[in-house]
């Protein structure tokens, strides 16, 4: 997979614009185009759309807003254009992504309505729940990827991409999907002149027993974990040797835990990355789930910006699909 086009839906709020710096950095990494989209609801009298003077003014303002942001992106060397849509917000965003063959949807956790107790804004929740595309989910106020590439005007200028390097954390599990995310994360980190941290958690198998394990059973469990740790050490060393270059410092983190998602979360808290990268699924069969356990848990609970690569086919556009509970698959009842 490569990323050729990034769709960025905006609602005109500063919180919504928080995604732009990360999106610009990823666009540079893949030489991708950014498509800025705003969807405006239609005003109707019965079944006929009504274009009042007020609505036409709002539309003109929205076009000018999008084109202004696109011009700033272009000034920073990023290919960008703007498009105004009409209709329902979420469906309009997904239709635009389908029509323009977007490879990635990039959006902020919160938009015009601001933070809420659920962690994700309503539009963000519905886009993630649809699950048909890879997505970049940016936490407003988080560390910018690859430097402080500000798009808001400050004293007539925008920020510089020559700021100190940041850190990209990628969660891997040894699967083909994990390696796919690893290679894409390396490309993002290299373009952003960031350190790449490869994190792997060796799972401790769950044993159902109402009594303490017999010594021989405990020893067997320890041997299983030792085999997993040994294989993981070899895998991480090989990945580091293959990816590390003078312009891409690579570091590995290996931990053993029965709670994979929670451990990845703790690693991220310690590393403070500008971006956490992972695939939507790992070693297990995706089945009917749009996201695996780790991806679901991080999307629902993580305060970090996330880049999630989707490995299942795109789904049909929802008619009036309700928002899905993203915490349904978190492991061991973990919540933030």
- CB proximity list for 62: less than 8 A, separation 6 or greater: 12, 38, 40, 84
How far is 171 from 328, CA to CA, in rounded Å? 20
Which residue in the block uniquely carries the two structure tokens 């305060």? 303
Taking CA atoms, 216 is separated from 144, 205, 221, 222, 257, in Å, by 50, 15, 9, 10, 21
CA–CA distances in Å: residue 295 to residues 29, 113, 260:
23, 25, 11
pLDDT for 302 equals: 83
CA distances (Å), origin 312, targets 99, 265, 279: 19, 24, 10
DSSP class per residue in 114-179: ---TTSS-HHHHHHHHH--SEEEEE-TTPPPTTS----S-BTTB---TTSPP-EEEEEE-SSHHHH
Note the pTM of the prediction, 2 decimals. Answer: 0.83
Query: What number of CA atoms fall less than 13 Å from residue 230's CA on the CB side?
Result: 6
Residue reference for tokens 């993630």: 128
The list of the chain residues with pLDDT below 50 reads: 148-165, 321-336
Interval 36-93: pLDDT, tens: 999 886 655 555 555 667 778 888 999 999 999 999 999 999 999 999 987 778 888 9
Residue 31, pLDDT score: 95
In sequence order, the 6+-apart residues with CB closer than 8 A to the CB of 250 are: 186, 195, 196, 197, 198, 239, 240, 243, 244
Q: What is the pLDDT of residue 194?
A: 93
List residues bridging with 8 in a β-sheet. 36
How many angstroms separate the CA atoms of 309 and 1, rounded? 9
- Which pLDDT score, from 0 to 100, does residue 290 have? 84
**Antiparallel, parallel or unpaired: β 44-45 and 48-49:** antiparallel
Q: At 217, is the secondary structure helix, strand, or coil? A: helix
Report angle CA 221, 227, 233 to the nearest 5 degrees. Answer: 135
Residue 53 pLDDT = 77
**Cβ(195)–Cβ(251) below 8 Å:** yes
Domains of the chain in sequence order: 5-333 (3.40.50.12370)
């Amino acid at each position: 997979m490569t990323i050729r086009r990034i769709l960025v839906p905006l609602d005109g709020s500063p919180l919504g614009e928080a995604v732009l710096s990360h999106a610009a950095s990823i666009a540079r990494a893949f030489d991708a185009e950014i498509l800025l989209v705003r969807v405006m609801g239609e005003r109707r009298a019965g079944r006929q759309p009504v274009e009042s003077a007020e609505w036409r003014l709002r539309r003109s303002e929205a076009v000018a807003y999008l084109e202004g942001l696109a011009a700033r992106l272009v000034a920073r060397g990023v290919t960008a254009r703007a498009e105004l849509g009409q209709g329902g917000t979420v469906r309009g965003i997904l239709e635009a992504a389908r029509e323009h063959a977007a490879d990635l949807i990039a959006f902020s956790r919160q938009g015009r309505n601001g933070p809420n107790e659920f962690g994700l804004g309503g539009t963000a929740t519905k886009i993630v729940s649809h699950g048909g595309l890879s997505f970049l989910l940016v936490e407003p106020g988080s560390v910018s990827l690859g430097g402080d590439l500000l798009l808001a005007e400050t004293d007539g200028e925008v920020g510089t991409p020559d700021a100190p390097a940041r850190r990209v954390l990628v969660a891997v599990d040894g699967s083909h999907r994990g390696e796919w995310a690893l290679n894409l994360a390396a490309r993002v980190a290299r373009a952003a002149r960031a350190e790449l941290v490869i994190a792997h958690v060796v799972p401790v198998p769950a044993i159902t027993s109402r009594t303490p394990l017999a010594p021989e059973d405990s020893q067997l469990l320890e041997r299983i974990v030792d085999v997993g740790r040994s294989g993981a050490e070899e895998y991480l060393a090989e990945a580091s040797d293959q990816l590390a270059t003078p312009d891409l410092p690579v570091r590995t983190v290996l931990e053993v835990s029965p709670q994979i998602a929670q451990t990845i979360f703790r690693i991220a808290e310690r590393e403070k990355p500008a971006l956490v990268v992972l695939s939507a699924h790992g070693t297990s069969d995706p089945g009917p789930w749009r996201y695996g356990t780790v991806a679901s848990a991080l999307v629902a609970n993580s305060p970090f910006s996330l880049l999630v690569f989707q490995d299942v086919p795109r789904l049909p556009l929802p008619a009036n699909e309700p928002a899905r509970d993203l915490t349904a698959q978190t492991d061991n009842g973990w919540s933030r």
